[in-house]
Structure 1
Amino acid sequence: MRRRLIQSTLAVVLVVIAVFGVSLVIVETRTISNSAQERVSSEAQRLASIVDSRLIGAGTVSAEVLKGQVTGERFAVIEIPGQSAIEVGTKPEGEVIRGRAMGEEGERVVVEEPRSTVSQEVGRTLLIIGLVALLAVVAAVLLAIRQANRLASPLTDLAETAERLGSGDPRPRHKRYGVPELDRVADVLDSSAERIGRMLTAERRLAADASHQLRTPLTALSMRLEEITLTDDPDTVKEEANVALTQVERLTDVVERLLTNSRDPRTGNAVSFDLDEVIQQQLAEWRPAYRQAGRAIVSSGKRHLQAVATPGAVAQVLAALIENSLMHGGGTVALRTRVTGNQAVVEVTDEGPGVPADLGARIFERTISGRNSTGIGLAVARDLAEADGGRLEMLQTQPPVFGLFLSRTPLKRPPAEDEEPTVR
């Protein structure tokens, strides 16, 4: 591209120089020739005036008298009636420029000058024009190189940026070049890089959340299936199978919830439900794991509370808290329900050492963990709670107490951007 820009610029300059240079040479040549002719004619007229004055005064004119009046390479012939012709100077060879004049006393003056003087002057003029043209070409080449670099280098950078985007590096460069069109392309590429970066982040987050959220119900389902394989009692098999089916439904709900949150984390399907049902479901799912660990899980507090949220999301939040207590806590895990204002609160606590003081304020941040876990569970749990208008907080660090706050009245959600408000 650089070569094409330089060649096109140079071609335009050469065409301009050819058109205007030839015209200028023709004009200057004619001007110099006309000036030389006028100069010789003026010289002849001047000599005629001198001869007239001499004839009127002294009555005679000689070559010695006129010798100092003809200078340079000029040659003059004065023809006076009744006298022989007077020649002054050296007669030039080759082509000459000739000027004639008639005096008042009837004399005739002819002045000649070699045409080579005109050719020399034309040559000097052509040399000057040629030097100017050469300087113009050099300046045009330098300007073309500069302009080509100014245009080609940004295009190279933009191509590298596009290649980086294609290779999975979505970092925007925020580099501009002072050319509006190229800056517009850079803006679009930076915007695309930011969008791709957000999409990649969302995909990585979805993959991490999915691996974490699906692990718990899959583990619980695996434990139920193991219980079925270890018993021959049909009633026990039936009971465990029903629980397994419930866990499969919960697993399906987890998948749907993850996909919904990946599209719009603010989307919720809040309904009014009995909080005891969700708590009892979690107790039934987690008791085998706690019995295997030699620990207990119990519930207490106010019964038959109605909360407004997504039951599946509340179950996932409680599962994350219960699993967190199983992995990092100790002793008995207790789920307590209470009412504060217009909110139903579920507190999850255990008898373990609690949360370290340096992690207390950051416990809900992603990748923050005190014991080599993924650090995703509590962050996902808080997102799920907030999606339905609730909140998840750490009420106490030692012993640890987490509180899930849920509204007891339906939320008034603003209309979506593509919905029109109802006018009554």
Structure 2
Amino acid sequence: MRRRLINSTLAVVLVVIAVFGVSLFFVEARSIESTARDRLQSEAARLVAVVESRIAAGEQVTAAKMASFVPEDRHVLIEQPEHPPISLGVPAGANALTATERGVNGETVTVQQPRSVVDDEITRILMIILVVSLGAVAAAALLAVRQAARVSAPLTDLAETAERLGSGDPRPRHRRYGVAELDRVADVLDGSAERIARMLTAERRLAADASHQLRTPLTALSMRLEEIIATADDRDTVQEEAAIALTQVERLTDVVQRLLTNSRDARSSSAVGFDIDEVVLQQLEEWKPAYRGTGRALVHSGKAGLRAVGTPGAVAQVLATLIENSLMHGAGTVALRTRTTGNQVVVEVTDEGRGVPVELGARVFERTVSGRNSTGLGLAVARDLAEADGGRLELLQQRPPVFALFLSREADQTASAGE
């Protein structure tokens, strides 16, 4: 493209120079020749006047007396009736420019100028035109190179941006070039880069969330299968553990479905009214074997019969994350307590461990932030799940740690409590 721009610009300049330069040359050549002829005619008239004045004064017209009136590069021929012709200067040759003037007494003056004088002046004009034309071509070439670089550089830059997008680097460059069409393309590419960046971030976040959220149900499921193996001789226990394991599989399926739904629509929600005790007791049944295996206790207290608005599967996942964190990073007895505050239901999870480091504080909910060499995703995912149901997950106390899940209280129950 750069070469085409340069070639087209130079072609236009050359055409303009050819048309106007040639025309100017011919016009100037004719003007020089016409001026030379007019000048010769004027000199012939002047010499005729001198000859007439000499004759009128009764003087004889001779070469010596007329020599001072003739320029060096002219040839003058003076002819008088009954007198020999007078020739002054060097003959100009066959192609000389000639001008003749006749006086009232019959005398004739012919003035000639060598053609070479006019040709030399025309040559000088031609050289001037050629020099100016070459200067114009050189200036046009420089301008064409700069203009081609200015036009092609943004296109090269945009091509590099598009290549970066294709190679997985979605960072927008936010460069503009002062050309409306190119700026429009840059706007589109930057917009595409931002959308691709958001999609990549969402995909990576989904993958991280999926891996973390699936880990908790799988851990619980593996514990149940271990219980089944350990109690294989007790048919009733086996059936009970198998039923709980099946519940875990259903929860796992629900988690996968929720992740897929959230990946399609981050605002989707399936919030319903549900009994908070059912979810809490379900988590107690799932995690008690793991706590027994470590010699620790998992207990529940607080107000019973509370109903909240949300997604049971998501609430269960949040509580499972808190219980698992207490198992992995806490110590002593882990207590779940249900209560109400205003029109909200609160589920608190606490243990007797060292709690959250002081330097972390509320940052413990940020992704990749962890004080115990973990992934740093559990609490961040749990908070996202709570907020998706219109609730919130907060750290009420750092030592001993108290995490609280706030959910909206079911309207009918809130009205009954008010009465």
Q: TM-score scaled by structure 1?
A: 0.93
Q: Provide the rounded CA distance (Å) in 1 between the counterparts of 2:58 and 2:183.
A: 89
Deviations 1:35-76 (Å, cap 9, x if unpaired)?
111111111111112222222223432222221111031111
Equivalent residues in 2 for 1:53-132, closer than 5 Å: 53-132=53-132
Q: Which residue number in structure 1 is paired with residue 40 of structure 2? A: 40
Q: Does 1:52 align with 2:58?
A: no
Q: Provide the rounded CA distance (Å) in 2 between the counterparts of 1:57 and 1:307.
A: 141
Amino acid at match of 2:26: I
SS in structure 1 of the partner of residue 273 of structure 2: strand
Q: Does 1:262 align with 2:263?
A: yes
SS in structure 2 of the partner of residue 269 of structure 1: coil
Q: Which residue number in structure 1 is paired with residue 352 of structure 2? A: 351
Q: Which residue number in structure 2 is paired with residue 11 of structure 1? A: 11
Q: Which residue number in structure 2 is paired with residue 419 of structure 1? A: none
Q: Which residue number in structure 2 is paired with residue 414 of structure 1? A: none
Q: Which residue number in structure 1 is paired with residue 332 of structure 2? A: 331
Q: Which residue number in structure 1 is paired with residue 415 of structure 2? A: none
Q: Which residue number in structure 2 is paired with residue 281 of structure 1? A: 282
Q: Provide the rounded CA distance (Å) in 1 between the counterparts of 2:263 and 2:91.
A: 106
Q: Which residue number in structure 1 is paired with residue 365 of structure 2? A: 364
Tell me how far 1:89 sits from its aligned partner: 1.4
Q: Provide the rounded CA distance (Å) in 2 between the counterparts of 1:279 and 1:315.
A: 8
Tell me how far 1:174 sits from its aligned partner: 2.2
Q: Provide the rounded CA distance (Å) in 2 between the counterparts of 1:261 and 1:357.
A: 33
Amino acid at match of 2:267: R
SS in structure 2 of the partner of residue 228 of structure 1: helix
Deviations 1:309-347 (Å, cap 9, x if unpaired)?
111111111111111111111111111011100101011
Equivalent residues in 2 for 1:138-287, closer than 5 Å: 138-230=138-230, 231-287=232-288
Which region of structure 1 is more displaced relative to structure 2, 13-22 or 331-340? 13-22
Q: Provide the rounded CA distance (Å) in 2 between the counterparts of 1:105 and 1:387.
A: 124
Which region of structure 1 is more displaced relative to structure 2, 245-254 or 351-360? 245-254
Which region of structure 1 is more displaced relative to structure 2, 101-110 or 371-380? 101-110
Q: Provide the rounded CA distance (Å) in 2 between the counterparts of 1:76 and 1:52.
A: 16
Equivalent residues in 2 for 1:19-38, closer than 5 Å: 19-38=19-38
Q: Provide the rounded CA distance (Å) in 2 between the counterparts of 1:205 and 1:135.
A: 64
Q: Which residue number in structure 2 is paired with residue 384 of structure 1? A: 385
Q: Which residue number in structure 1 is paired with residue 417 of structure 2? A: none
Tell me how far 1:136 sits from its aligned partner: 0.8
Amino acid at match of 1:237: V
Q: Provide the rounded CA distance (Å) in 2 between the counterparts of 1:54 and 1:361.
A: 124
Q: Provide the rounded CA distance (Å) in 2 between the counterparts of 1:47 and 1:163.
A: 85
Which region of structure 1 is more displaced relative to structure 2, 351-360 or 263-272? 263-272
Q: Provide the rounded CA distance (Å) in 2 between the counterparts of 1:95 and 1:2.
A: 52
Q: Provide the rounded CA distance (Å) in 2 between the counterparts of 1:57 and 1:232.
A: 164
Q: Which residue number in structure 2 is paired with residue 321 of structure 1? A: 322
Q: Provide the rounded CA distance (Å) in 2 between the counterparts of 1:240 and 1:54.
A: 150
Tell me how far 1:179 sits from its aligned partner: 2.8
Deviations 1:166-199 (Å, cap 9, x if unpaired)?
1111122222333332222222222222211111
| Matched residues, number | 410
Tell me how far 1:268 sits from its aligned partner: 1.5
Tell me how far 1:295 sits from its aligned partner: 1.0
Tell me how far 1:409 sits from its aligned partner: 4.1
Q: Which residue number in structure 1 is paired with residue 414 of structure 2? A: none
Amino acid at match of 1:378: L
Q: Which residue number in structure 2 is paired with residue 418 of structure 1? A: none
Which region of structure 1 is more displaced relative to structure 2, 77-86 or 311-320? 77-86
Q: Provide the rounded CA distance (Å) in 2 between the counterparts of 1:351 and 1:286.
A: 17
Amino acid at match of 2:190: D
Q: Does 1:137 align with 2:127?
A: no
SS in structure 2 of the partner of residue 362 of structure 1: helix
Q: Which residue number in structure 2 is paired with residue 413 of structure 1? A: none
Amino acid at match of 2:270: N
Q: Provide the rounded CA distance (Å) in 1 between the counterparts of 2:335 and 2:267.
A: 30
Q: Which residue number in structure 1 is paired with residue 295 of structure 2? A: 294
Amino acid at match of 1:235: D
Amino acid at match of 2:365: F
Tell me how far 1:240 sits from its aligned partner: 1.3
Q: Does 1:393 align with 2:394?
A: yes
Amino acid at match of 1:92: A
Q: Provide the rounded CA distance (Å) in 1 between the counterparts of 2:52 and 2:384.
A: 119
Q: Provide the rounded CA distance (Å) in 2 between the counterparts of 1:347 and 1:407.
A: 15
Q: Provide the rounded CA distance (Å) in 2 between the counterparts of 1:313 and 1:295.
A: 26
Unaligned runs of 5+ in 2: 412-419
Tell me how far 1:112 sits from its aligned partner: 0.5
Q: How has the CA–CA distance of structure 1 residues 88 and 374 changed in structure 2, closer, same or farther, with 3 Å as cutoff?
A: same
Which region of structure 1 is more displaced relative to structure 2, 356-365 or 101-110? 101-110
Q: Provide the rounded CA distance (Å) in 2 between the counterparts of 1:259 and 1:296.
A: 35
SS in structure 2 of the partner of residue 222 of structure 1: helix
Q: Provide the rounded CA distance (Å) in 2 between the counterparts of 1:162 and 1:354.
A: 49
Q: Which residue number in structure 1 is paired with residue 416 of structure 2? A: none
Q: Which residue number in structure 2 is paired with residue 416 of structure 1? A: none
Deviations 1:96-140 (Å, cap 9, x if unpaired)?
001111223332111110111111011000000000110011111
Amino acid at match of 1:248: V
Q: Provide the rounded CA distance (Å) in 2 between the counterparts of 1:46 and 1:302.
A: 135
